[in-house]
Structure 1
Amino acid sequence: MRILLTNDDGYNAPGIQVLYQALKSQTKHDISIAAPEGQRSATGHSITLFAPLFVTEHALEGSGKGFSISGTPSDCVKLAVQGGLIPKPDLLISGINQGANLGTDIFYSGTVSAAMEGVLLGIPSLALSLANFEYKDFGPSAAYLVEHLDLLLKLRHKGLININFPGKPRTEWRGLKVTRLGKAIYENVFEQRQDPRGRIYFWQSGNLVQDCESDTDLTAIQNDFVSLTPMHSDLTDFACLQTWKELFN
């Protein structure tokens, strides 16, 4: 099977490199990488239309190919697959991201957007995130993915599976929960500052409001479970669809 790895933390980020080594050493799949040349977090599903995309090829073991690309995570997937850098993969894995991608944060996430780009191109995709910015050991998350990869493939899910791992040693994980997306609502703060030339600028930050609903990905991670959320690309509000058809037609 051909697997394409991507991310939004950059080609040399430890998350994607640890995942590559785990897959390469413990499976027989053909692994390639197409990832941004540097940090591209929170770029959402943006693509580059008014600038060139520069590509640097990197040597990888076996028949796989590695590319660092000057664009966004979605650019990397589109260019790799539609630009002919690699044969169309059977599976796309985005991550392992440093930091959680939970709830409505997925709309801003370059990690999840890269995986969703795979879905739009007809490729089953996984988005993987380590839900902690301070915890740096990606080994347990990579090992867990490798151990459960065959089971995930047997699901034959043609959309996106968003997986978040607790940011702590695996001995402290409490298991896995299949979840829905929670509501990641922030109390945003915009700190106003002034540069030496007198120009006003702002730094954005915020605190996440606690999600107390029991079946969400946010609650699962708060309780030290791996969260697994099936997603698809169709944002249609089906609850309104038939009613509105009758009203407007």
Structure 2
Amino acid sequence: MRFLLSNDDGYFSPGLEALAHALRTLGEVTVVAPERDRSGASNSLTLDRPLIVRRAPNGFYFVNGTPSDCVHLAVTGMLDLQPDMVISGINIGANMGDDTVYSGTVAAATEGYLLGVPSLAVSLVSKSPQDFSTAAYVTRRLVERLMSRPLSQRAVLLNVNIPDLPLPQLKGYRVTRLGRRHKAEAVIPAQNPRGETVYWIGPAGRAAEAGEGTDFHAVAEGYVSITPLQMDLTHYELLPEVERWLQETGAP
């Protein structure tokens, strides 16, 4: 079994190291991750400059690009053999609800999924975790389950969020849908040394739709949240209405 690991926190992240350590006895582990923190990079690919791949002393490869770049390079030619599974993480912080749209962690897994490889995005729901052992154990168990009992579709994309709890305190696993957040907080203005006004993006909003069945609710109750994702953005329910609207207004 060949595993490709990536993340958006950078190749030096302790979560990535913990993930690699947890999976080494299950198969061949290759790490290709960004050279620096690329949180919020979403699914961007670098098309305006060449990318450079270097290797760290611990054997991890790192790239001067985005999380999607890392997986794309690895799967489409950098590696001699294609991976059997892509795992992105272990991310520091949640990737639930609307976070998935912006998340570099989810984007790295999504790139594997789009290239036909079963993929997991794994996040530890804590802004300053001290221990990744629970998240690493949970990820290993999910990987083992996918290896022994693959899902019906070969290429799947699972978004996994793990409460920051000791393993005995986890209540179990729940399959969830994405929740929703409130509108993001306002931007934060500041001044740079030249006296120019600059802006920091404000923090994400609080959970708005966080009822039973959502990823927010599961994690808050002490469960591991597993959300199957897909990339079809078509709003199917709106198709007939747009068709009628076009006919009524007259096509340009």
Q: TM-score, normalization: structure 1?
A: 0.90
The one-letter code sitting in structure 1 at the alignment partner of 2:117 is I
Q: What residue in structure 2 maps to residue 174 of structure 1?
A: 171
Summarize the alignment of residues 190-229 of structure 1 with structure 2, pairs less than 5 Å apart.
Answer: 190-206=187-203, 208-211=205-208, 212-229=210-227
Stretches of structure 2 that go unaligned for 5 or more consecutive residues are 248-252
**Do the aligned partners of 2:95 and 2:103 also contact (CA within 8 Å) in 1?**
yes
Alignment partner of 1:81 is 2:79: no
Could you tell me how far 1:247 is from its partner in structure 2?
Answer: 6.1
Deviations 1:191-246 (A, max 9, x none): 22222321111223235323332111011112221000001111111222355456
> Percent of aligned positions with the same letter in both sequences?
41
Alignment partner of 1:117 is 2:117: no
Deviations 1:2-33 (A, max 9, x none): 110010011121111111111113x2x11111
- Judged with a 3 Å threshold, the aligned counterparts in structure 2 of structure 1 residues 144 and 79 are, in CA distance, closer, same or farther, namely same
RMSD: 2.0
- Judged with a 3 Å threshold, the aligned counterparts in structure 2 of structure 1 residues 170 and 239 are, in CA distance, closer, same or farther, namely same
Residue 151 of structure 2 is aligned with which of 140, 144, 155?
155
**Do the aligned partners of 2:134 and 2:165 also contact (CA within 8 Å) in 1?**
no
Residue 35 of structure 1 is aligned with which of 25, 33, 40?
33
**Do the aligned partners of 1:166 and 1:224 also contact (CA within 8 Å) in 2?**
yes
In structure 1, the residue corresponding to 2:190 is in which secondary structure?
Answer: strand
Alignment partner of 1:132 is 2:108: no
Alignment partner of 1:48 is 2:27: no
Could you tell me how far 1:140 is from its partner in structure 2?
Answer: 1.0
**Do the aligned partners of 1:100 and 1:131 also contact (CA within 8 Å) in 2?**
yes
Could you tell me how far 1:148 is from its partner in structure 2?
Answer: 2.9
In structure 2, the residue corresponding to 1:206 is in which secondary structure?
Answer: coil
Stretches of structure 1 that go unaligned for 5 or more consecutive residues are none
Deviations 1:98-134 (A, max 9, x none): 0000001101000001111111111111000001112
In structure 1, the residue corresponding to 2:74 is in which secondary structure?
Answer: helix
